[in-house]
Structure 1
């Protein structure tokens, strides 16, 4: 049961409905195990944390030790990673398939009604099919949260193995158009991020979404904000 979700953390409880057998031969009685301020947002991440919690307890960890470990876990790089010390709230995530794209928007719906701006890097050298599917999921999410969307082929950041082909680019843009999703296109990642950050308001959430083509996104965002004098020291 998810009790509270915000931009930085989640409170949730795992309810044990019947005695849980432990490897030691003992059992854990029914009741709730509560985790406070789990530092990785998103229902998918909470589900993973709950599974890890059960596994640890069954293996012999105390519930207090297991919950403390989750409350102090370090967020994974580019998994709904919140970039710190920024004047604008920026979340960085690797989205490689339609399910992961949809999960991002599910998380957004859970914790915010703030304006959303997205920079999306097309997957390079992965084919038309996956890119078209990702674009459709992206279009649905953009419509749900009325986000602004900037699409890039990361020509300045992707290596040879991750170059976006013309066919992949065209497939993505055509799906977005056919789905009625408004977007802008920038071939370079730096310019796409720069334009998005310059347009962002104080209350906006900026999402850096994409696989290998967005790997340099966080570094570029920090550089742009520093150059524009927008990075905070908090």
Structure 2
């Protein structure tokens, strides 16, 4: 591979090199962990950051935003800094470079879509590990590394201890930063990974500030198939927009469907493969519809890779899901925690929880902070549609005691959420803090009841907050 230099990196990210051209002798890294010779990628940096990078012996910093006296400090220190208008370009390059340099012969799988990416990615990874693969994934319980808009995955691959057989990488369908859409993000990152397999889950609305319609979301997700040079494309035939993406796949590539009417589908008895029962219902760790959809996607993928069915059955049966994916936090009452954070996820999760409860259902919903009025209006409508025919106690929270400024619920977001509920005649109670909302749910519930916790960042700390609550 071509030797990395600061001038070469500047060209790859359409950036401007300020300082000398010099050879990069390290890896792509974040500022905190950078070592001698590393190229640091950072969305923004100021003079303090430049000084730290220089002191660490880094080769350069690539940034989208040089703040304060960053440029002047870099010049004084004779430290190269690259300014780019699109930080995603250097992150995509870093990812491709790390794979080609440290894992050139790996099996590469990309999972994208609106919902279910994380669980599908995690389950595929789990099955491959059960099958004896040395594998890496960027999916984690807090979704810290799955956006691919920082160099963490490139860093992890470069620092991986041992030889990698496979990487299973979740690719966000859309992405943005600092009020700027990262156009064609899914295509850019998938092209960098060069996967042999692409798995697509569904099309729904989530990032309303980045896409404004299902058509726009579908276009972004379909970017994963643009110029696809791999072997298999795995599509959800229960989602019409995903199913129709078959037309984007060149004839020499194999398209594999999962879902109703396909070779891998779900019936009351369990998951079937070519008409024969593969995984009995009792062997599925979770039986909610969205978990089953994710399982179908994962099973279809590994069957295409010719993984032994007995290994697949064992891996699924023993699967430990990511945190906040319909996770049971307690019994009597049953407490379920789920990352449901967009309309489709909210509806599916509430319906699944309602099916499980033998008493009343208490839904504690965290309003999404700093995500805009449009998404919160859609989320509120999904909540209203889901609970209107249920014996349900609805509790809202702004989670002001646990969120940072990037996730603070704005007055307009709270208002639009509540306005929808009032228009639909839904009874609710709102608490500014998460701890008060959880206290109310616990005090209101009986042993046979169920408490469902839903929401993104505002509900993330719930499992820890619950431990501090004593109900008298």
The alignment's TM-score, normalised by the length of structure 1, stands at: 0.82
Partner of 1:45 in structure 2? 291
Report the CA distance between 1:109 and its aligned residue. Answer: 4.6
Q: Matches of 1:13 and 1:213 in 2, distance apart?
A: 34
CA apart distance, 1:13: 2.3
Structure 1, unpaired ranges of 5+: 4-10, 18-30, 230-234
Q: Which of 290, 311, 322 does residue 65 from structure 1 map onto?
A: 311
Secondary structure in structure 2 of the residue aligned to 1:90: strand
Contact 1:149 1:183 in 2 (8 A): yes
Q: Deviations over 1:144-190 (max 9, x none)?
A: 32211011111111111000000000111111100111001111110
Matched, 1:174 2:432: no
Higher relative contact order (CA 8 A, sep 6+): 1
> In structure 2, do the counterparts of structure 1 residues 222 and 12 end up closer, same or farther at CA, with 3 Å as the change threshold?
farther
Q: Is the 8 A contact 1:14 1:50 kept in 2?
A: no
Greater radius of gyration (CA): 2
Is the 8 Å Cα contact of residues 92 and 207 (structure 1) preserved in structure 2? yes
Number of residue equivalences: 206
Q: Which residue of the partner structure matches residue 216 of structure 1? A: 461
Q: What is the CA-CA distance between 1:37 and the residue it aligns to?
A: 2.8
Higher mean C-alpha deviation, range 139-148 or range 179-188: 139-148
Q: Are 2:393 and 2:428, in contact at CA under 8 Å, matched by a contact in 1?
A: yes
1:195-217: CA deviations, max 9, x gaps? Answer: 11011000000011111011111
2:471 to 208, 228, 231: 228
Unaligned runs of 5+ in 2: 1-265
SS at 1:213 equivalent = coil
Q: Which residue of 1 aligns with 2:345?
A: 100
Aligned counterpart for 1:83 among listed residues 301, 323, 329: 329
Aligned match for 2:436, one of 187, 191, 200: 191
The answer as to 2:369 corresponding to 1:127 is no
SS at the partner of 2:403? coil
Give CA-to-partner distance per residue, 1:39-61, whole Å, 9 cap, x none.
23411111111221122222122
**Partner residue in 2 for 1:232:** none
Paired residue for 2:409?
164
1:142 aligns with 2:400: no
How far the C-alpha of 1:12 sits from its partner, in A, is 1.6
In the TM superposition, what whole-angstrom CA distance separates every residue of 1:67-118 from its partner, at most 9, and x where no partner exists?
A: 110000002111111114x442100111221111111133235444531001
> Over aligned residues, Cα RMSD in angstroms?
1.7
Quote how far apart the aligned CAs of 1:140 are.
Answer: 1.1
In the TM superposition, what whole-angstrom CA distance separates every residue of 1:16-59 from its partner, at most 9, and x where no partner exists? Answer: 14xxxxxxxxxxxxx22123332234111111112211222221
1:187 and 1:195 map into 2 onto residues whose CA distance is 12
Show the counterpart of 1:14.
272
1:40–1:75: 8 Å Cα contact kept in structure 2? Answer: no
**Contact between 1:155 and 1:188, CA under 8 Å: does it hold in 2?**
yes
Q: Displacement of 1:121 after TM fit?
A: 0.7
TM-score, length-scaled by structure 2: 0.42
